[in-house]
Structure 1
């Protein structure tokens, strides 16, 4: 598993590197914009715009009304805007701002400009529009007749030293005509730059021109409308923040804030300019207005064009066509309500993308089955997008496409590497086990390789040792072809049964067979499988015994020893040649039990540890307690005689009775019981022992001490 985790870490690190490189160089920007628009469209309709902001639009209805009712050409005479300003003054508006440029003198005469200037002079604090940027005319110095913002922002010089000054400094500017400019409370920059897909998602708050810090229209409105308490607070800028008194506005290195759009279309309550002009004129004549001024009390009023012909429409995440003044209104909304969205720091993005990529790669690398891979992919791929939605709800812009690319590359990489490595692993498993595992067991391992431990490990196994009785004596008189044919047939029959029972063939030692159960696959019924295999092998041999006799003249019988215990199992040998085998005292005991059959004249012997696991399934008998060569501790042994559902020979009952009496030291009674089994070799051995003990009158602890293997 550790190897898989390391593999996943390497794949994940590579995937994160790819994703972060694409993100860093802007390759993913357009996709990120789409993902951001999805988030905005989900959350914005659930948020309400500020009712303190009112927008007056010079819409198509206003243009048509001006043309048909008043014969006003476009641009309108500037005195026309006077009633709009007077309406705001009458209503008690807090601040008035026009998102309109008056950079050229009126086409009528100077008096027209002076009329608008006079209206502005009697207005609530009025914000005038100017343009800063490379395409903003030819003026490179602040004209002396133009009012300066005189913003005192602490830390500005230090902050400018940390960022790219050229992005904040405007080389040229366009100013309103003096008749208008000299009457405004503040001049504000109305120019903003969209993202590369021409959609506006951020609002610039500050620009610098000729050493003067110029606020954006939204910031200028907020500054002009501050309460006395707010005006007492200082303005300060530092890395990542613009402090407006107690307000902290998150900004980027270009002094831009992310727009937190609200409402279904991102629009504030708006009114047609024609309806406002008509309402003011009616109020002046003592008539009822179509728009009541009460709704504008203490409001922040912005006016701007929205008619398509006036070419001031912008694209936002919520709408392909939105009045430019609405972007300023939304920025002001964010400032007033302090509903800001912050950029997740770059360093955090690096770690997030890395973590997502590493986690995805490790998870998929550890998946073993196809359905696990599918489930992992279904869960992991949407995770970055869901994280982005969650971050938005908490007020953060978390780039999701970089994370999605990292996850996707990690998942694909892990799947490909898994496929390649598992292909090699399957080929290795087939090659390593094809000679000593059944094809069915190999297929089971291939389905779940986690069950396989190719290195050495300690496990409790049931071990099987068999040997042909008197093989050396009759093999010497057989010619090689006959002997080879006999062995091949015998070993094939026995091996087939062992493999059918899920056993692992360890090795052949001449005519001997060594096998075991519960490795490499875990088999909870390993003892049962081993005993059943031994009984089936004996029956198969009995069925072919006459055939072997006819072919070779030899009586072929097989002794089997079985023991269950802890051993070391694994691939052992040289780098080039190895064998999946076992080492340990439990294996040695199984071998000794095979030889111990000679002492009782039996052909199957299992240890107490094996019988304890299998005795409820097989009928048989206890043979006794013996101490094998090389082992001091005696072991109780048993002889299984019948498969499940079958019964052992009837004389087993007499044998068991005699054995019980023998353990009690009642030799005469035991002898009588054993005498009831005249054809049972084990009973005859015990009968001889009883006679000897009766003759010598000695005691016996019931343990047979064997002197040969």
Structure 2
């Protein structure tokens, strides 16, 4: 890669970085202000739904749910003759059976924060029955609800709450931030005192009413309190020391990743097909029936071992009780199942860890910069789109993999939007640049190149570099012989008509052969073969163009005569092949695509040297070598042009090899023999051969006859290499 190409690529890469940085700034702003959060949470739901079902052997087996379902409501209504809400003595019966069965803990996902209503037994008696059953068991965890505003709880209830072990956590190094709950709906002081421990039951759905996380801890006045799942896990683990870390809760040996408000994202267990809950569940009806059977001395129909050493949640699942919520996996999940999921996460360390917002923002910046470099740096929209799609696919698959294997929640919406916005921005800028480039290419070349070539250059902008590049090509300089005399004899209108006729005919041939008309200087035509379009056979095409131009000029002679030209019109040409520097050159106001270099200088001098040798077309030895056997050249001299020290072999372009007749071939043979003797300083032999060629009408031979005669009188220096020095351009 040349220095120019490297600078051009670096410039594109830097511009791509700027595009990526701008896109990252926009997406970062939206991310920082949680504008994208609703969409992000929806993608989290989709990721959970895409996971495979949790194998039965991996489902939580240490938690059992006793559901107050529709069968339970009907059983109590028909057999015990109580409508909802049930007397609290019924819950006492459930507690007694579960305790006798060996349950490790019984958690009520139900609130007993108001006195029971009056029935055939008083509300006070009903409340007392629940308190007594709770006290007898010693394993019951009751719940309450925190309120953001409202009256503070009665002093006796608040005091009782603070006496429950594990409730007052003020001694922790730091308290969780967030809204300070000023009030709570608490159970009675007696029920609090009888409970093993307490926890709040608040579940805070997101704005779309889907539960994805629940708070582990909260502030109640000056006290830090635990939710029911945290309290149960803490109690199950032997009440280890708790530690609030910056982004986690240390619960014994288990570290639970938390959000700034001390909530944590739930890991949802996908149920196997045809299984409604990841937990072992039974109906409250079955428990009540079994308790009745046990009290009556009958073996219970429900196996008590189902609850042995298990944590048992008691909660409602009947639709009419309105404790149904939405989760990422379902639009209808009993609230007790969500609470049980939280506890299972805490016991098993299954909580989901969300990547920090700062990490997300850095990833947005990184991916946007990479996308900008790829898309704008390559300037290939298809390649950029392909690589962008690969990045987006990797993000989608990677985010699912991280969730499935590491329980890691990485935000993909900002990343996807950052990549997409960068791609769109870079593509749009590329499109604008390509349109501008296409317009520039069309404006520069449409009158000087074949239309198909112009279309190719527009469709493949990498083939032409207007900023400058090196190309190997062949240049053609031509002008009308004795044009000064011709122009002086013509009136302005015929002169312009002649010029237009001649230049149009020559230009069409040059373009048809794939050449590019660089410029017109009066009657002079400067053409380039091999730039801006790549032509491997540029020398042969230039030669063919000259042959066709000569034929066309011969065909136009009648029209030239009709315009007032007094003699036959012909042109002289110079052909030179080699390295060219081509590009869009000029001032800011006016630029032209042109070429420069020694090859151009030599082509111009060869064109003017035709008058010296009385030839029509002179060419460099490189052109003669590159053109191939289809065209005939004859070496005609070695010259030192003005300003150069080394000698340059030059040849006369005779024409297409197939068109040469026997007379021309004989004349060329005589000249070739004379030129060989001339280089060997055999002046007599050389002159004789040149005389034979001259006798057949070979004009350049006359020049060499004169040189032989001069060198015979005054030989060249000993180091003479057969070259001749031009003293003028």
- From 76, 95, 102, the equivalent of 1:85 is 95
SS at match of 2:556: helix
Per-residue CA deviation, residues 380-419 of structure 1 (Å, 9 max, x unaligned), is 6666545543443443323333334434444444444444
Partner of 1:704: 724
CA distance in 1, matches of 2:715, 2:365: 85
Aligned pair in 2 of structure 1 residues 51, 492: CA closer, same or farther (>3 Å)?
same
CA distance in 1, matches of 2:627, 2:100: 102
Q: Is the 8 A contact 2:478 2:571 kept in 1?
A: yes
Partner of 2:212: 201
- From 84, 101, 110, the equivalent of 1:100 is 110
Aligned pair in 2 of structure 1 residues 113, 687: CA closer, same or farther (>3 Å)?
same
Aligned pair in 2 of structure 1 residues 26, 44: CA closer, same or farther (>3 Å)?
farther
Partner of 1:593: 606
Partner of 1:609: 622
- From 698, 705, 710, the equivalent of 1:680 is 698
Aligned pair in 2 of structure 1 residues 470, 436: CA closer, same or farther (>3 Å)?
same
Aligned pair in 2 of structure 1 residues 617, 293: CA closer, same or farther (>3 Å)?
farther
CA distance in 2, matches of 1:532, 1:339: 80
Partner of 2:413: 401
- From 30, 35, 38, the equivalent of 2:46 is 38
* 1:128-147 → structure 2 map (5 Å cutoff): 128-134=142-148, 139=153, 141=155, 142-146=157-161, 147=163
Partner of 2:259: 252
* 1:324-339 → structure 2 map (5 Å cutoff): 324-339=335-350
Q: Is the 8 A contact 1:130 1:175 kept in 2?
A: yes
| 1:498 equivalent in alignment to 2:514 | no
Partner of 2:79: 69
Partner of 2:520: 508
Aligned pair in 2 of structure 1 residues 583, 367: CA closer, same or farther (>3 Å)?
closer
SS at match of 2:359: helix
Q: Which stretch shifts more, 39-48 or 483-492?
A: 39-48
CA distance in 1, matches of 2:566, 2:357: 88
Per-residue CA deviation, residues 532-555 of structure 1 (Å, 9 max, x unaligned), is 322322222233245435641222
* 1:439-450 → structure 2 map (5 Å cutoff): 439-450=451-462
SS at match of 1:144: helix
Aligned pair in 2 of structure 1 residues 54, 127: CA closer, same or farther (>3 Å)?
same
SS at match of 1:143: helix
Q: Is the 8 A contact 2:175 2:224 kept in 1?
A: no
Partner of 1:19: 27
Q: Which stretch shifts more, 642-651 or 513-522?
A: 642-651
Per-residue CA deviation, residues 145-184 of structure 1 (Å, 9 max, x unaligned), is 4443445758745444xx34xx1x2211122234432221
Q: Is the 8 A contact 2:639 2:725 kept in 1?
A: yes
Partner of 2:5: none
Partner of 1:635: 648
Q: Which stretch shifts more, 463-472 or 364-373?
A: 364-373
Partner of 2:269: 262
Aligned pair in 2 of structure 1 residues 633, 328: CA closer, same or farther (>3 Å)?
same
SS at match of 1:630: coil
> Normalization by structure 2: what TM-score?
0.86
Q: Which runs of 5+ in 1 are unaligned?
A: none
Aligned pair in 2 of structure 1 residues 629, 186: CA closer, same or farther (>3 Å)?
same
CA-based RMSD of the aligned residues comes to 3.3
CA distance in 1, matches of 2:298, 2:687: 136
- CA shift for structure 1 position 357: 3.7
Q: Which stretch shifts more, 510-519 or 455-464?
A: 455-464
- CA shift for structure 1 position 362: 4.8
* 1:166-185 → structure 2 map (5 Å cutoff): 167=179, 169-185=180-196
Aligned pair in 2 of structure 1 residues 77, 140: CA closer, same or farther (>3 Å)?
closer
- CA shift for structure 1 position 202: 0.6
SS at match of 1:336: helix
| 1:452 equivalent in alignment to 2:464 | yes
> Number of residues paired by the alignment?
700
- CA shift for structure 1 position 318: 0.9
Aligned pair in 2 of structure 1 residues 69, 672: CA closer, same or farther (>3 Å)?
farther
Q: Which runs of 5+ in 2 are unaligned?
A: 1-8
Q: Is the 8 A contact 1:79 1:113 kept in 2?
A: yes
- CA shift for structure 1 position 50: 1.6
- CA shift for structure 1 position 266: 6.3
- CA shift for structure 1 position 335: 1.1
Q: Which stretch shifts more, 671-680 or 294-303?
A: 671-680
* 1:259-298 → structure 2 map (5 Å cutoff): 259-264=266-271, 267-282=278-293, 289-298=300-309
Aligned pair in 2 of structure 1 residues 646, 40: CA closer, same or farther (>3 Å)?
farther
* 1:50-65 → structure 2 map (5 Å cutoff): 50-65=60-75
Q: Is the 8 A contact 2:170 2:224 kept in 1?
A: no
Aligned pair in 2 of structure 1 residues 151, 174: CA closer, same or farther (>3 Å)?
closer
Per-residue CA deviation, residues 268-302 of structure 1 (Å, 9 max, x unaligned), is 22221222333444456665655433343332221
CA distance in 2, matches of 1:475, 1:370: 54
Partner of 1:559: 572
